[in-house]
Amino acid sequence: MLVVRQKQPRRFEEDEVTFLFTLAAQLAGAITHAKASGELTGMEEGLGAPARFLQGLAGAGGVGIGRAVVAYRKADLEAVPERECGDPEVDVALFQDAVGRVEENLRGLKAQLAPDLPSGDLALFDALLLMLGGDTLVTETIGRIRQGEWVQTALRHTIEEHARIFDRMEDPYLRERASDIRHLGRRILMFLQSEQPQQGGYPDNTILVGEALGAVDLADVPAERLLGVVSATGSSSSHVAILARGMGVPAVMGVKDLPVRRIDGREAIIDGYLGRIYVSPAPAVRSEYQRLAGEDRELNQELEALRSEAAETTDGVHVPLYLNTGLISEMSALGISESEGIGLYRTDMPFMVRDRFPAESEQAASYAAVLEAFAPRPVNLRTLDIGGDKPLPYFPVHESNPFLGWRGIRISLDHPEIFLTQIRAMLRADTAFGNLRIMLPMISTVAEVDELLSLIHRARDELLEEGCDIRVPQIGIMVEVPAAVYQIEALARRVDFISIGTNDLTQYLLAVDRNNPMVAELYDEMHPAVLRAIIRVVEGAKVYNRPVSVCGEMAGNPLAAVLLLGMGVESLSMSAGSLLKVKWVIRSFSRARARQLLNSALRMEEARQVRDYLQGVFEDMGLGGLARSGK
Ligand code: PEP
Ligand code: MG
């Protein structure tokens, strides 16, 4: 509470009030950060402070107690986190080596440019070399390291301090020197980072934390050491959250007040059900979470017993459960034996982790590995769906509205050579196994489907001419754009199967960016409009007898799965971590009971009511633990 008093009795002016609002808002932000990073711990403990946590969005279920490790952008001095050093002398040596290499590099550059640049411009190099050679920058950094700072943190502090001095200078020429200092800092940092790979720096129970974590950041952590994922941006349907679910680790997304730079190395508790992070938790909180984690483990053991059971309703309807994978194919074997095939293989990851488009033979080899692992069970390989939140480093696309822009098959159609290469690779991979099905994402018009089908036939004809013994697989589309919902009959007529991508469908129906934490509370797959859109798809596809499955994250949500069952969705495809939970749900209801629940849910006007209603039903049946922590 901010209390302001004045000696003279008078009303505060309006501009004074707004000034105080502004001040209070800024102070509140700073205090939240300081609390979260533990800097206020000492002050608060005496006051019996309540358990502190940072609130984000539930990304992937599960709880865990571990240590925060910050993943940050490389070659960016500002992003370097506060970290303590292990052995100061090792860090000092690293630093001196990096400085030596920058000096060498600058001299080399100067010599290289000397014939072409006027000597005035070359003086810049002399100035940089002088700063490096001059004592202060180097000795100050070494001093900080010896006081316990990690080499990169020490460098950041020294550079910031020097740059700030120049920033404040009146003379514009001297002020410009601030950017030279920052430039120099970045160069030293680059050399340091090339010598200090993060691998090996991950403790056993790593909670990976970042401003905007990407799939590649996760791939960097050895799977057995990853305990949780926390991102300042994103929401439950961001690809990082999906990836976390696939790996069976909790995730909290969109933590707006996350003090990323100051959290590194601290003990933390992650609650992926409630979307909370506790930094440097109080002992009582820690022991409560130890208990909950224990109960979660027990629940998982009970789930294990379902592994060999059929996914059948109590009245004997078989609902095949498929696996969503691809983002993690290289990292995990989870879900291979529990699922009846792959309902969604995201082919994007092999494209994202390389520095160029993978060749046809490289792609064919990786698809063959997936087809083989599951044969004879069906595998839906989805064609490339880059764009949106999945950029390719070597194929930059700059758009103000990436989710409404050039993504998915829109890129494939504008670059048929990329699409044809991928289809050829898929068809070639399938020759030995025969379980391939091709799935096309982001369809919004029938013309797109017609054109893609003719490209697929062209790839088939080429391969047949080349003497390959291929067959034409089943081809399906994903319904992810509202336009496809309302043209479902025309689309269904053209293809063999339909799979509903509820992550994007929810985003586009509700006009809520799936990665934007500011509007994440509006993002809800239980929204009555989403439920009705799915029903519309099921009915439309029935006209042409096409099977409908759901492969968005909704299928893996135990509460939602029962509604999908009631709607007559034939199969569900989900992350590995959800398979057994959803199997439990399927085995607990009859189709008729699911229809009843759906009818009740459809009478509700808000997502929250639907959710609370279903949670209540689950609690009554002893299934509550499937959708929250504890049993
Ligand atoms: C979806 O949109 O529901 C989907 C499954 O695709 P992705 O999450 O890869 O966009
Ligand atoms: Mg999608």
What strands, in cross-sheet order, belong to the sheet with 251-253? 54-55, 276-279, 267-271, 63-70, 206-210, 226-231, 251-253, 57-60
CATH class of residue range 57-72+199-302 = alpha beta
Instruction: Assess whether 551 carries a catalytic annotation.
Output: yes
Mean of the pLDDT values across residues 444-460?
97
Q: Which residue in the list 239, 318, 398, 415 is annotated as catalytic?
A: 239
Looking at residue 47, what is its pLDDT?
39
| Choice among 45-59, 70-84, 104-118, 217-231 with the minimum mean pLDDT | 45-59
- Nearest ligand to the CA of 442 is 2
**Nearest-CA residue for atom 10 of ligand 1:** 504
In angstroms, how far is CA 89 from the centroid of its own chain? 37
- Indicate the pLDDT class of residue 51, thresholds 50, 70 and 90: low
pTM of the model: 0.76
Q: Where do runs of H (alpha helix) occur along 197-276?
A: 215-220, 239-247
Mean of the per-residue pLDDT values of the chain: 88
Cα 210 to ligand 1 centroid, rounded to whole Å: 22
Residue 502 CA to ligand 1 center (angstroms) comes to 7
Nearest CA to ligand 1 atom 3: 501
Atom from ligand 1 closest to the CA of residue 501? 3
Listed by start position, the domains of the chain span 1-47, 57-72+199-302, 77-192, 306-626
**pLDDT of 537 strictly over 90:** yes
- Residue 418 reports pLDDT greater than 90: yes
> CB under 8 Å to 614, separation ≥6 — which residues?
559, 562, 563, 597, 601
Whether 43 has a pLDDT exceeding 70, the answer reads no
Atom 8 of ligand 1, residue of closest alpha carbon = 503
**Which range has the top average pLDDT, 131-140, 157-166, 310-319?**
310-319
Q: Ligand 2: distance of its center to the CA of 625 in Å?
A: 28
pLDDT of residue 400: 86
**Per-residue CA distances from 262 to 56, 69, 214, 312 (Å):** 17, 10, 20, 49
Q: 480 alpha carbon to ligand 2 midpoint, in Å?
A: 6
**Where are the alpha helices (H) located in 342-408, listed in sequence order?**
348-352, 360-374
SS3 for 128-170, per residue?
HHHHHHCHHHHHHHHHHHHCCECHHHHHHHHHHHHHHHHHCCC
Q: Whose Cα sits closest to atom 4 in ligand 1?
A: 501
Q: How confident is the model at residue 139 (pLDDT cuts 50, 70, 90)?
A: very high
Q: Which ligand is nearest to the CA of 380?
A: 1
Query: How many other β-carbons are positioned within 10 Å of the β-carbon of residue 146?
Result: 14
Q: Where are any strands of DSSP class E within 441-486?
A: 474-479
Quick one: tokens of 269?
């508790």
Query: Which residue's alpha carbon is at the smallest distance from atom 6 of ligand 1?
Result: 501
- CA 80, 86, 88, 94 dihedral sign is negative
The enclosing H or E element of 342 equals strand 342-346
- Say yes or no to pLDDT of 391 above 80: no
Q: Torsion-angle region of residue 99: left (phi > 0), alpha (psi -120 to 50) or beta?
A: alpha
Is residue 468 part of the annotated active site? The answer reads no
How far does residue 501's CA lie from ligand 1's centre (Å)?
A: 5
Q: Please state the atom number of ligand 1 nearest to the C-alpha of residue 346.
A: 9
Task: Tell me which range, 33-42, 43-52, 82-91, is most confidently predicted by mean pLDDT.
Answer: 82-91
Q: How far is CA 105 from CA 56, 92, 125, 472, 618, in A?
A: 44, 20, 10, 56, 65
Q: Find out whether the peptide bond into 391 is cis, omega within 30 degrees of 0.
A: no
Among protein residues, the one with the nearest Cα to ligand 1's atom 1 is 501
- Ligand 1: residue of 346, 444, 500 to mutate (most ligand atoms within 8 A of CB) is 346
Q: Is the pLDDT of residue 92 over 50?
A: yes
pLDDT of 580 strictly over 60:
yes
Total length of the chain: 631
- End-to-end CA gap in the chain: 39
Beta bridge partners of 479: 500
Q: Enter the CATH code of domain 306-626.
A: 3.20.20.60
Do the domains 77-192 and 306-626 sit in the same CATH topology, yes or no? no
Contact, 198 vs 225, CB < 8 A?
no
Q: Has residue 196 got a pLDDT over 70? A: no
Given the DSSP bridges, would you call strands 226-231 and 206-210 parallel, antiparallel or unpaired? parallel
pLDDT score for 333? 64
Ligand of minimum distance to the alpha carbon of 324: 1
Q: Which CATH class is domain 77-192?
A: mainly alpha
Pocket around ligand 1: residues whose beta carbon is below 6 Å from it? 242, 344, 346, 385, 480, 501-504, 551-552
Which one is predicted more confidently, 209 or 122? Answer: 209
480, 502, 553, 572, best to mutate for ligand 1 pocket (most atoms within 8 Å of CB): 480
The predicted structure's pLDDT at residue 276: 94
Is the pLDDT score of 154 beyond 70?
yes
Q: State the distance from the centre of ligand 2 to the C-alpha of 219, rounded, in angstroms.
A: 21
CA of 370 to the centre of ligand 1 (A): 19
Buried b (16+ CB within 10 A) or exposed e, 574-588: bbbbbbbbbbbbbeb
Cβ neighbour number for residue 476 with a 10 Å cutoff: 22
Per-residue pLDDT at 279 exceeds 50:
yes
Catalytic-labelled residue, pool 33, 85, 162, 551: 551
Q: What is the mean pLDDT of residues 473-489?
A: 98
Ligand sitting nearest the alpha carbon of 572: 1
